[in-house]
Structure 1
């Protein structure tokens, strides 16, 4: 009886070790894909690493497959940190999510200190009307 228990324990440890190796290899592949995505989209991969965030069984191309979700941080201009995601199957990239680069930064809302304190009246319309109504 103890030989069977020892054999089962050994098989479970072997399966856990093989699973860990598969996930470790998948993480290396995800890090390489994240680097390629960052180069292609003009982003900087921060910390040069990805972290496993989810494991899901999903149907992909009619077959049940394991989808691994990885998270990593990127920078658009070197001064910020944006979260990004990458989903992979055994066949390769299943999907990704990167921050978008906008052409302009939004203007901050005016505060009491930046608003003009005096009342400004636009006189251009009044001047234009008075020039047209002159008779000389």
Structure 2
């Protein structure tokens, strides 16, 4: 019984640490995507909204995480976006169309 509890605690600790590392990766990727479109990532909005299992291109199972986040074009507006991480790799992403500010 104690061994099963210890293993469960180790698995929970691993999952928590892995989730924190993947969130940091999602923030980095979100910043890169936002910069590509001249947008600003609102860092504190990055949150994992979905979690499930999926296979990568080699057929190996990984956790597929969907992260929702907000970006802004001028600081006054917000665009809801998302990206998907399959393991540690960016699977897909979506940033909705927006009106470019006139300069």
TM-score (norm 2): 0.86
Residue segments in structure 2 that go unaligned for 5+ positions in a row: none
Q: Would you say the 8 A contact 1:31–1:49 is kept in 2?
A: no
Name the structure 1 match of 2:89. Answer: 92
Q: Report how many aligned residue pairs link the two structures.
A: 100
Gaps in structure 1 of 5+ consecutive residues: 105-136
Distance, in Å, in 2 between the alignment partners of 1:78 and 1:38 is: 13
**Secondary structure of 2:76's match?**
coil
The CA deviation at 1:62 is 4.8
For residues 20 and 48 of structure 1, the distance between their equivalents in structure 2, rounded to whole angstroms, comes to 18
Distance 1:92 1:34 in 2: 13
User: For the aligned residues, what is the CA RMSD?
Assistant: 1.8
- Alignment partner for residue 48 of structure 2, among 45, 48, 52? 52
CA contact (8 A) 1:31 1:48 kept: no
Which structure shows the higher strand fraction?
A: 2
- Per-residue displacement from partner, 1:95-118 (whole Å, max 9, x unpaired)? 0010212359xxxxxxxxxxxxxx
Are residue 33 (structure 1) and residue 29 (structure 2) matched? yes
Pick 1 or 2: higher relative contact order, CA cutoff 8 A, min separation 6.
Answer: 2
